[in-house]
Chains A and B, each alone.
With several copies, the nearest count.
Chain A
Amino acid sequence: MAENQNFARDYNLPELLVAAAARELRDGDVVFVGVGVPLLGALVAKLTHAPNLIMAMESGSVGPMPYRIVLGIGDNACVENAICTTSLWRLFADQQRGYFDVGMVGGAQVDKYGNLNSTAIFGSGDYYHPASRLPGSGGANDIASSARRTVITIPLEKRRFLERVDYITSPGYLNGYDSRKKAGLPGGGPVAIITNKCIFRFDPETREAYLDSVHPGVSVEEVRANVSWDLKVAPEVKVTPPPTEEQLRIIRIIDRAGIYTNNGLKNLTFESYIQLLEGSLEELQQLF
């Protein structure tokens, strides 16, 4: 594993985020994943330090090893080499049962207790008349309720990092301290918020988010300026490690068209898409 610890130099921000997501995962974890950065992170983890990691997708698929980029939680890639294909309610029931070690969730707003909003930005209106209607919970509420730990991904912006979100779609620690447990939620709650500039973790007692590491080149002040509440900061703020060369190599094989890591959808034609699929098959087969 020594060579895996050689850090890459030439990487972009999405690639760093994928590596950061991968580092949240341990070997043997069962991970309830959504598409994009979390799924890439899970695949990178599986192909590096966590070979026994199992991915679960809410469409009803467990343990796939896809030989192509996954374009949705109901993409055909999710059944490739799966150990079990079943139904949506069963996978969520399994999560409620406590089988899933990690869930990855996102949102448009997050607050200091890790509560997430992916339902509606009220603006000057309210839930019924929102400034911006978002997609809704999807499975996020369920993941946040029942996964043994959750990892949040969201861009760092002042309008997103609020004292209190407009609407709690996915519960974090609610009002902090033991309020989450008192509400009867079985899962453990969030352990990290991965942003484009830094990573937050949670105080074990107050359950408030604090700054744990900044990405290379980002200052603590820059983070503070993008958070609406009086941010707590770790005694020694770390620097988020960049991807290793090995991680980067794998990211670029899996997402060879840069769909998640380099805005690759923009230039995709039908021909280049078919070529992408055909090209992936051989290269990814060798990875697993």
Chain B
Amino acid sequence: MEFVNTRKKTDKRMTLKEAIATFVKDGDTIAFGGMGGIQCVAHAYEIIRQGKRNLTLIGDSPCEAGDLLVGAGVLKRMEIAWCSYAVAGLAHNFRRAVEQGIPHPIEVEDYSNFTIGLRFLAGAMNVPFLPTKSLLGSDLPKYNARIKTMDDPYTGETVALVPAARPDVAIVHVSRSDKRGNAQMFGFSSNAENLVRAAKKVIITCEEIVSTDEVRRHPNLTIAPEYTVDAVAEVPFACHPWNMPYYYAYDIPFHIQQLTAFRTREGFERWMDEWCFGVDSWEGYLAKVGWDRLERLRRVERRFTHISC
């Protein structure tokens, strides 16, 4: 694996727009951070806005990013475990693509959440595969030739193998980072620490940029040291309408409105015209949501979870 000098820069700050323009190329394999909360929503909108094409998405349950990118025709392939908005509703774009080829057919390779996590861990460790007891006996290996089984050479017991994931680009949202890319997370991190290590290029987005001194005061919170990171973008409210622990609550009323629109292809297209192409950046999206609304989501969250360090 080759590294370029972006990893060695002492100031990696960029806007999200610049970072995606610089690092995401047509045909790339990409991966996003988050699971339910901490999702990379801003990132998906920006990729769509920049008209990227023929991407492959690898992810455990990349619900919003997956559904948006499929609907926008950006993806040619998904290697995933799940695509749905959970409590808020189903992923209509994903279903339309698989069931009806709208806007165009996509390839889907099915895994489970754990085994996608293992694929990132394998990539992070630079080993070609990892073994697991998941998947055995199920129909996932039947339809996915890259899930292999072998007899353990030590005990003879059967294990399943999954191949390392090595995305071209990982875009991972964290609580905070310094400008060198020392990225810290409060609360659960999903697969973030392995995602950044599995990928060839890494864009860290964060709720806030802090000083390196502040990072050094809490070294246990660093999930991605600077040597894993190529770019850092400060993108507050990057997960809206999803939640960010310790920062802002889930805006589920917004999500319900959005998913009602997504039920039809026309509704999705109108939504994208308005919320993606009708603004020129995530700042534009947020202004459209309304800073008063965002502030209330932040304020209500602070009553429940509050950074105490």
Contact = CB atoms under 8 A, between A and B. Distances in A.
Given A87-B190, A139-B113, A82 B216 contact: yes
User: Which DSSP category, helix, strand, loop or mixed, fits chain B's interface?
Assistant: mixed
Interface string A118-140: 01100000010011110111111
11 contacts: A35-B86, A59-B36, A65-B216, A80-B305, A83-B222, A88-B113, A92-B113, A97-B124, A135-B83, A141-B134, A277-B304
Interface stretch (A13-21, A178-186, A246-254): A178-186
A242 B193 CA distance: 43
A14 to B, nearest CB: 14
A146 interface: yes
Interface in B127-148: 127, 132-140, 143
Contact of B244 (A76, A84, A269, A274): A76
Contacts of B243: 71-72, 74-76
Contacts of B139: 119, 167-169
B305 A58 contact: no
A74 B34 contact: yes
A72 B36 contact: yes
B134 A146 contact: yes
B261 interface: no
Nearest to B60: A88
B219 interface: yes
B113 A76 contact: no
B124 to A, nearest CB: 6
Given A54-B227, A141-B134, A268-B252, A76 B83 contact: no
B303 A185 contact: no
A72 B89 CA distance: 11
A84 B184 CA distance: 9
6 closest Cβ pairs, A-B complex: A74-B36, A60-B188, A183-B137, A92-B114, A89-B117, A135-B84
A86 B184 CA distance: 12
A189 B125 CA distance: 19
Contact of B113 (A72, A120, A142, A180): A142
A30 B304 contact: no
Contacts of B186: 79, 85
Contacts of A180: 137
Interface string B104-126: 00000011111101101100111
Interface in B162-212: 182, 186-194, 197, 212
B215 interface: yes
A36 interface: yes
Contacts of B193: 87
A119 B110 contact: yes
Interface string A146-159: 10000000000000
B83 to A, nearest CB: 6
Interface string B13-41: 00000000000000000000011111100
Interface residues of A, number: 83
A218 interface: no
Interface string B85-115: 0111011001100110000000000111111
Contacts of A96: 114, 125-127, 132-134
Nearest to A117: B139
A240 interface: no
Contacts of A84: 182, 219, 222, 225
A169 B226 CA distance: 31
B249 A277 contact: yes
Contact of B225 (A62, A75, A174): A62
B269 interface: no
Given A79-B245, A265-B252, A133 B95 contact: yes
Given A77-B304, A97-B124, A98-B126, A85 B188 contact: yes
B248 to A, nearest CB: 8
A124 to B, nearest CB: 12
Contacts of B293: 270
Nearest to A142: B114
Contacts of B158: 183-184
A22 interface: no
